[in-house]
């Protein structure tokens, strides 16, 4: 955590504590303002505080007494007032505020009148029905709280792929560079590309594992060594993420990689398949089954296959199965599809500029798309209801469209579509009237608000958007945020059937915070005959790099280039768009 995030958290916690203690709103707001100033600061505030304490006070939003706290924190690592305030509350009470939808006012009542002191007591009291006697705690509200609590508890133990994959890649790069390392790869759920990761599993092939293990547990970002053996070690990083490393001999590489990539359930299917063919599969290889219970590798048995994954699958009568499909969802019972790859993506069809909440101009976004070899980019700024995202009024939209078309005329070698990411309002109406939408080249329709409505309302809402003839794509259809909010839960089958019929594509939003649609829904959408659209929803140039997370999610859903509108030849795409 950078010191700014740390400082912001301390001030947010003080503000929360004051609210829970019923102190005056003015002080609470002042503290929140400091927290936001710390979040937004580009310099490292602790470093500034140490070199020039006066400079902190001159930052917008930070008053004299808050500045003193930051200076104190920079010097000592503590904030006396923070500690004093927190000591007035039960130790787990602030955690309760992390339940989506629970604010300080509700939690205060639950604490003072309901005896809730932490997540465990909240859970127990929800189960026993005790909280129903509190003011404004109807059955519906309580049920929502219980669902959100369950969601928080499953969501928070796992790390998003967007955090874990770059980390795993960096660690593999370091391990691969060590002397004597023949192969190095990540395995486990990271290699399978799951949207969240429990722990990171790394694998190396080497004849001299000890120095590799020592280097691994001695890495700079290691906070705790959980285990340090000669072929197996485990560490916890400063971020809290656990990383396991195994070392095997190069002859076993394929078998070990297969075993530690999983999933556990996929491995079970492979082992059963091996047994039926009178063979035994383990992390050392695929061996003939001679009825002897002693593990074959300990008896010097020669494996049928072990060095590569492909040789093992082949000996089992299977094609090599991409890791993204290894989830025991029937992947061994059907031909392996040619899954979509990043290189197949030819265009970005959902992005934002400074006209709404993006960080770059139209020219910059178009230039970046061109630099990346795309044949087209659709500029889709937010619509008028998205006030927090600086959504465009009709007048501003029409001006913006003219600007986008002007850029389109200036720049050669890439098609630029003037579009909009138009809000799907809670009742399914779109945020611009049809005659305005008719003037656009491209319309992404997305839900942004009312994401807690019931399934029936959500289904009607999205069906209505799909039925609009101007809509090309439904953007991040559920509106979920991984580890944040569950999003809409409509009758997906009904929606996919309607979208397939109407020729509306479903988005896989590649932002690792969203991955929306998720893998299983991608599979269902394809089965219903829908086309998918993988977009980064770029708000800046770096965001184009998020594409791979969308592609991984597509692969997990069995997506091929055939069902992805971003991969079609331009003529096919353009004809589809106009139809
Ligand atoms: P995660 O870490 O929860 O996101 O999921 P995975 O799939 O990475 O699971 P993990 O880290 O427990 O184990 C890594 C791989 O090791 C797993 O995918 C399959 C393999 N494996 C083989 N046998 C076993 C076993 O008996 N238990 C577990 N947990 N994993 C096994
Ligand atoms: Ca794992
Ligand atoms: Ca593991
Ligand atoms: Zn959006």
Tens of pLDDT, residues 287-301:
999 999 999 999 999
In sequence order, the 6+-apart residues with CB closer than 8 A to the CB of 107 are 20, 93, 96, 97, 116
Supply 397's token pair.
């939209």
Q: Which residue has the higher pLDDT, 140 or 248?
A: 248
Element (H, E) at 348: strand 347-351
Confidence of residue 442 (pLDDT cuts 50, 70, 90): very high
Out of 3-17, 171-185, 342-356, 453-467, least confident range: 3-17
Q: What is the pLDDT of residue 1?
A: 40
Confidence of residue 157 (pLDDT cuts 50, 70, 90): confident
Whether pLDDT at 499 is above 80:
yes
Q: How far apart are CA 6 and CA 481, in angstroms?
A: 23
Measuring from atom 20 of ligand 1, which residue has the nearest CA?
A: 260
User: Of 435, 375, 379, 432, whose CA–CA distance to 403 is shortest?
Assistant: 379
> How far away, in angstroms, is 338 Cα from ligand 1 center?
26
For residue range 250-273, what is the model confidence (pLDDT) as tens digits? 999 999 999 999 999 999 999 999
Q: How far apart are CA 218 and CA 6, in angstroms?
A: 25
Q: Which residues surround ligand 3, an ion (CB under 5 A)?
A: 199, 201, 244
Q: What is the pLDDT of residue 288?
A: 97
Q: How far apart are CA 384 and CA 382, in angstroms?
A: 7
Separation in Å, CA 115 to CA 84, 148, 470: 22, 19, 53
Residue 323 CB–ligand 1 contact under 6 Å = no
Measuring from atom 10 of ligand 1, which residue has the nearest CA?
A: 188
Contact 480, 514 (CB under 8 A): yes
In sequence order, the 6+-apart residues with CB closer than 8 A to the CB of 435 are none
Whether pLDDT at 155 is above 60:
no
Q: How far apart are CA 321 and CA 307, in angstroms?
A: 16
> How far away, in angstroms, is 449 Cα from ligand 1 center?
37
In sequence order, the 6+-apart residues with CB closer than 8 A to the CB of 481 are 487, 513, 514
Residue 283 CB–ligand 1 contact under 6 Å = no
Residue 356 CB–ligand 1 contact under 6 Å = no
C-alpha 148: how far from its chain's center? 18
Report, at the CATH architecture level, how domain 159-248 is classified: 2-Layer Sandwich (3.30)
Instruction: Count CA atoms within 13 Å of residue 450 on its CB side.
Output: 19
Confidence of residue 2 (pLDDT cuts 50, 70, 90): low
Contact 565, 578 (CB under 8 A): no
Residue 205 CB–ligand 1 contact under 6 Å = no
The full set of domain ranges for the chain reads: 4-144, 159-248, 253-325, 342-578
Measuring from atom 24 of ligand 1, which residue has the nearest CA?
A: 264
Q: How far apart are CA 475 and CA 457, in angstroms?
A: 18
Radius of gyration of the chain (CA): 27
> How far away, in angstroms, is 351 Cα from ligand 4 center?
9
Q: What is the pLDDT of residue 405?
A: 98
Q: How far apart are CA 210 and CA 247, in angstroms?
A: 9
Measuring from atom 25 of ligand 1, which residue has the nearest CA?
A: 264
Measuring from atom 17 of ligand 1, which residue has the nearest CA?
A: 262
Residue 199 CB–ligand 1 contact under 6 Å = yes
Mean pLDDT of all residues in 350-369: 97
Secondary structure percentages of the chain, helix, strand, coil, to 5: 50, 15, 35
- In the chain the first and final C-alpha atoms are separated, in Å, by 50
> How far away, in angstroms, is 200 Cα from ligand 3 center?
6
Backbone angles phi, psi at 416, to 5 degrees: -120, 120
Measuring from atom 1 of ligand 1, which residue has the nearest CA?
A: 198
Element (H, E) at 332: none
For residue range 185-222, what is the model confidence (pLDDT) as tens digits? 999 999 999 999 999 999 999 999 999 999 999 998 89
What does pLDDT average to over the chain? 95
Measuring from atom 13 of ligand 1, which residue has the nearest CA?
A: 188
Q: What is the pLDDT of residue 3?
A: 77
User: Of 376, 322, 374, 373, whose CA–CA distance to 552 is shortest?
Assistant: 322
DSSP 393: P
Whether pLDDT at 112 is above 70:
yes
For residue 479, the ligand closest to its alpha carbon is: 4
Residue 100 CB–ligand 1 contact under 6 Å = no
Fold of 253-325: Beta Polymerase; domain 3 (3.30.210)
235 beta partners: 225, 243
Mean pLDDT of all residues in 231-248: 93
- pTM here is 0.78
Separation in Å, CA 384 to CA 234, 355, 423, 453, 457: 50, 12, 8, 21, 22
Q: What is the pLDDT of residue 505?
A: 98
Q: Which atom of ligand 1 is nearest to the CA of 283?
A: 22
Q: How far apart are CA 47 and CA 221, in angstroms?
A: 20
> How far away, in angstroms, is 233 Cα from ligand 3 center?
10
Out of 99-113, 263-277, 304-318, least confident range: 99-113
User: Of 437, 487, 434, 426, whose CA–CA distance to 462 is shortest?
Assistant: 426
Residue 518 CB–ligand 1 contact under 6 Å = no
Separation in Å, CA 284 to CA 183, 204, 295, 453: 15, 14, 10, 51
Q: Which atom of ligand 1 is nearest to the CA of 263?
A: 18
Confidence of residue 447 (pLDDT cuts 50, 70, 90): very high
Q: What is the pLDDT of residue 49?
A: 92
Q: How far apart are CA 520 and CA 554, in angstroms?
A: 9
Residue 186 CB–ligand 1 contact under 6 Å = no
For residue range 8-48, what is the model confidence (pLDDT) as tens digits? 999 999 999 999 999 988 899 999 999 988 988 878 899 89
CATH of domain 4-144: 1.10.150.110
For residue 226, the ligand closest to its alpha carbon is: 3
Q: What is the pLDDT of residue 150?
A: 82
Separation in Å, CA 553 to CA 331, 402, 451, 550: 16, 35, 22, 5
Q: Which atom of ligand 1 is nearest to the CA of 188?
A: 8
Q: Which residue has the higher pLDDT, 177 or 92?
A: 177
Residue 472 CB–ligand 1 contact under 6 Å = no
CATH of domain 342-578: 3.20.20.140
Whether pLDDT at 153 is above 80:
no
User: Of 17, 168, 15, whose CA–CA distance to 87 is shortest?
Assistant: 17
Instruction: Count CA atoms within 13 Å of residue 245 on its CB side.
Output: 37
Instruction: Note the helical H segments in 372-439.
Output: 394-410, 434-437
Backbone angles phi, psi at 545, to 5 degrees: -70, -15
Whether pLDDT at 154 is above 70:
no
Q: How far apart are CA 419 and CA 411, in angstroms?
A: 17
> How far away, in angstroms, is 552 Cα from ligand 2 center?
17
User: Of 186, 230, 229, 226, whose CA–CA distance to 209 is shortest?
Assistant: 230
Q: Which residue has the higher pLDDT, 437 or 43?
A: 437
Supply 12's token pair.
């947010």
Percent of the chain predicted with pLDDT > 70: 99
Residue from 235, 260, 483 to probe ligand 1 pocket by mutation (most atoms less than 8 Å from CB): 260
Backbone angles phi, psi at 554, to 5 degrees: -60, -45
> How far away, in angstroms, is 446 Cα from ligand 4 center?
6
Q: Three-class SS of residue 110?
A: helix
Mean pLDDT of all residues in 121-136: 93
Q: How far apart are CA 203 and CA 83, in angstroms?
A: 43
Q: How far apart are CA 558 and CA 220, in angstroms?
A: 38
């Amino acid at each position: 955590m950078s010191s700014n995030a740390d400082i912001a958290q301390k001030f947010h916690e003080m503000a929360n504590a004051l609210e829970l203690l019923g102190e005056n709103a003015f002080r609470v707001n002042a503290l929140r303002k400091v927290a936001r100033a710390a979040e937004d600061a580009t310099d490292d505030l602790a470093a500034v505080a140490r070199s020039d304490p006066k400079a902190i006070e001159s930052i917008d939003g930070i008053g004299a007494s808050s500045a003193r706290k930051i200076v104190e924190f920079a010097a000592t690592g503590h904030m006396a007032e923070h500690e004093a305030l927190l000591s007035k509350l039960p130790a787990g009470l602030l955690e309760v505020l992390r339940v989506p939808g629970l604010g300080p006012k509700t939690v205060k009542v639950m604490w003072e009148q309901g005896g809730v002191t932490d997540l465990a007591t909240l859970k127990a009291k929800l189960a026993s029905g005790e909280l129903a006697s509190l003011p404004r705690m109807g059955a519906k509200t309580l049920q929502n709280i219980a669902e959100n609590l369950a969601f928080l508890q499953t969501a928070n133990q796992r790390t998003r792929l967007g955090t874990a994959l770059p980390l795993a890649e960096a660690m593999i790069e370091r391990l691969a560079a060590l002397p004597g390392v023949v192969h190095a790869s990540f395995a486990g759920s990271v290699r399978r590309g799951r949207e969240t990761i429990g722990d990171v599993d790394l694998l190396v092939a080497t004849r001299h594992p000890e120095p590799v293990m020592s280097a691994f547990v001695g890495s700079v970002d290691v906070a705790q060594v959980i285990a340090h053996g000669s072929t197996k070690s485990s560490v916890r990083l400063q971020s809290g993420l656990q990383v396991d490393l195994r070392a095997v001999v190069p002859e076993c590489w394929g078998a070990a990689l297969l075993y530690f990539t999983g999933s556990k359930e996929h491995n079970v299917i492979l082992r059963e398949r091996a047994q039926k063919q009178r063979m035994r599969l383990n992390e050392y290889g695929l061996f003939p089954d001679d009825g002897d219970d002693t593990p074959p590798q300990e008896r010097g048995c020669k494996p049928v296959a072990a060095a590569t994954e492909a040789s093992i699958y082949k000996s089992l009568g299977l094609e090599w199965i991409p890791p993204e499909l290894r989830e025991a969802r029937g992947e061994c019972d059907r031909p392996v599809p040619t899954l979509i790859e990043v290189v197949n993506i030819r265009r970005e069809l959902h992005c934002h500029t400074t006209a709404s909440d993006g960080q770059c101009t139209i020219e910059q976004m178009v230039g970046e798309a061109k630099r990346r070899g795309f044949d087209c980019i659709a500029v889709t700024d937010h619509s008028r209801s998205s006030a927090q995202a600086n959504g465009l009024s009709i007048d501003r939209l029409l001006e913006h469209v003219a600007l986008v078309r002007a850029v389109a005329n200036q720049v050669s070698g890439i098609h630029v579509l003037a579009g909009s990411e138009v809000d799907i309002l809670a009742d399914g109406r779109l945020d611009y009237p049809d005659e305005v939408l008719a003037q656009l080249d491209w319309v992404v329709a997305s839900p942004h608000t009312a994401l807690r409505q019931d399934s029936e309302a959500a289904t009607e809402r999205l069906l209505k958007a799909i039925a609009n003839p101007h809509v090309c794509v439904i953007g991040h259809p559920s509106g979920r945020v991984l580890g944040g909010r569950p999003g809409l839960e409509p009758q997906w089958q009904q929606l996919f059937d309607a979208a397939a019929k109407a020729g509306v594509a479903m988005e896989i939003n590649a932002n690792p915070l969203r991955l929306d649609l998720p893998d299983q829904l991608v599979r269902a959408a394809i089965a219903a005959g829908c086309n998918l659209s993988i977009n980064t929803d770029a708000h800046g140039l770096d965001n184009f790099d998020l594409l791979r997370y969308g592609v991984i999610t597509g692969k997990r859903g069995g997506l091929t280039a055939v069902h992805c509108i971003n991969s079609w030849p331009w003529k096919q795409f353009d004809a589809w768009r106009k139809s």
